[in-house]
Amino acid sequence: MTVEGQRYLEECRKVLKEEQMDAVSMGLDFGLPVSDIQKVVKSNQEAPVMKAIIIGLMEGIGEIDFLCEGNYNQFQVREIVEGLKNGLDLEEVKTYAGNELPASRMRTMRIQLEESKAKKEVPKDEEMRSYMKNLMGIMEQSIQQFRESNDRFTALSSLVKEHVVEEKNQEIKDLYENLQYKDKNIQELKEKLAKKEQEIQDLKKEAEKYREKTEAASRETKVVLEEKSIQTAEGLQKSKHRLLGIAMLGKKVPKSVVEKILEYNLSAEQLEEIRQCVESGLADAEILQVMENSPSPERMKKMREIILLMRKRKAGV
């Protein structure tokens, strides 16, 4: 690689990708002129296309401007290079080097053109007419295929549109029916809610009436119970006085003892035990001790007997 080539290679490293650099480095290593490499780089082609053009230059083709200015892919470039290598001039190559033709079509047309040119016995005009006839046939075939593909696409697109429209119409219909169903349900729920609210209001009124009746009955019952309670309390008090009078008949009982008897609400059996205490000669304090906490008649009897025994014991001492 020359010094100029090395310098240009370093400049390319700043702007080109790795695959593009491989193609440039290959051309410079082969010894291609830097000016030709510059044309390829300035064409701003993809790495595979750059590599195909540089390989064509390495094989001796001289139509670099045509390759760099065209918008070809790597496979189309190879067919152009092959045609130039096999003796076709630029004008002949241009007859099949169309951007719209795939590389496979270009290859077929190139081979036919090369075969026609190779037949020395056929006049050049007739050869060109045959080539052009084949070329027109290929072009017509390509156009026909394109039209058929376009027609199929149009028909398919129409079917798809119709299918989509039918689906959307069905979706709209389903949504409308669903909306009507929901609206009907909402209306029924509103009617049920109104009935329930009316039932609640009726129940509230009945509950209020029942509460008023209950409160009135409660007040009447309370008054009756209070009256009965007063009557009962007065009756019990009178009964207690009567029982106490009977129990203490002929006995002088201190007033304090009488008050305690009334306070403790003693039964007839308990009053009988108090009478026994009085008859036994127990002192007031001893009687009050027997009455304390309103014990049962049996307990009162035992306490009375214990007090008397303690007296006798003290007297014996």
pLDDT number for residue 299? 92
pLDDT number for residue 228? 53
Q: Is residue 10 in some structural domain?
A: yes
Measured CA to CA, the distance from residue 273 to residue 277 in angstroms comes to: 6
Q: Is residue 201 in some structural domain?
A: no
Read off the pLDDT of each residue in 18-38 and give the average, rounded to a whole number.
85
User: Concatenated DSSP letters for 143-167?
Assistant: HHHHHHHHHHHHHHHHHHHHHHHHH
Number of domains in the chain: 2
CA 37 to each of CA 20, 231, 295: distance values in angstroms, whole numbers, following the listed order? 11, 135, 133
Residue ending a domain, choose from 92, 118, 144: 118
Measured CA to CA, the distance from residue 237 to residue 97 in angstroms comes to: 139
| Residue 81 structural domain | 3-118
Residue ending a domain, choose from 103, 118, 133: 118
pLDDT number for residue 232? 53
Query: pLDDT tier at 4 (50, 70, 90 boundaries)?
Result: confident
pLDDT number for residue 301? 92
pLDDT number for residue 121? 47
Candidate ranges 127-136, 203-212, 256-265; pick with highest mean pLDDT: 203-212
Mean pLDDT of the chain: 80
Q: Is residue 66 in some structural domain?
A: yes
Per-residue pLDDT reduced to its tens digit, 276-292: 988 988 888 888 888 88
What's the one-letter identity of residue 223? V
Q: Is residue 137 in some structural domain?
A: no
pLDDT at 140 over 60: yes
**pTM score:** 0.38
Query: pLDDT tier at 247 (50, 70, 90 boundaries)?
Result: very low
Measured CA to CA, the distance from residue 26 to residue 18 in angstroms comes to: 12
pLDDT number for residue 243? 47
- Token pair of 150, please? 């376009």
Between 11 and 253, the higher pLDDT residue: 11
Give buried/exposed letters for 182-192 (b at 16+ CB in 10 A, else e).
eeeeeeeeeee
User: Concatenated DSSP letters for 219-258?
Assistant: HHHHHHHHHHHHHHHHHHHHHHHHHHHHHTTT----HHHH
Per-residue pLDDT reduced to its tens digit, 104-124: 888 888 888 888 887 754 555
pLDDT number for residue 298? 94
Q: Is residue 47 in some structural domain?
A: yes
pLDDT number for residue 60? 83
pLDDT number for residue 227? 57
pLDDT at 69 over 70: yes
pLDDT at 223 over 70: no
Q: Closest by alpha carbon to 26, among 43, 9, 3, 4?
A: 9
Query: pLDDT tier at 258 (50, 70, 90 boundaries)?
Result: confident
User: Concatenated DSSP letters for 166-209?
Assistant: HHHHHHHHHHHHHHHHHHHHHHHHHHHHHHHHHHHHHHHHHHHH
Residue ending a domain, choose from 75, 94, 118: 118
Q: Closest by alpha carbon to 32, among 77, 2, 72?
A: 2
Q: Is residue 140 in some structural domain?
A: no
What's the one-letter identity of residue 191? E
Q: What is the dihedral of CA 63, 66, 68, 72, to 10 degrees?
A: -120
Query: pLDDT tier at 27 (50, 70, 90 boundaries)?
Result: confident
pLDDT number for residue 215? 82
pLDDT at 17 over 80: yes
pLDDT at 230 over 70: no
Per-residue pLDDT reduced to its tens digit, 158-193: 777 777 878 888 889 888 888 888 888 888 888 888
Read off the pLDDT of each residue in 294-312 and give the average, rounded to a whole number.
90
Q: Is residue 63 in some structural domain?
A: yes
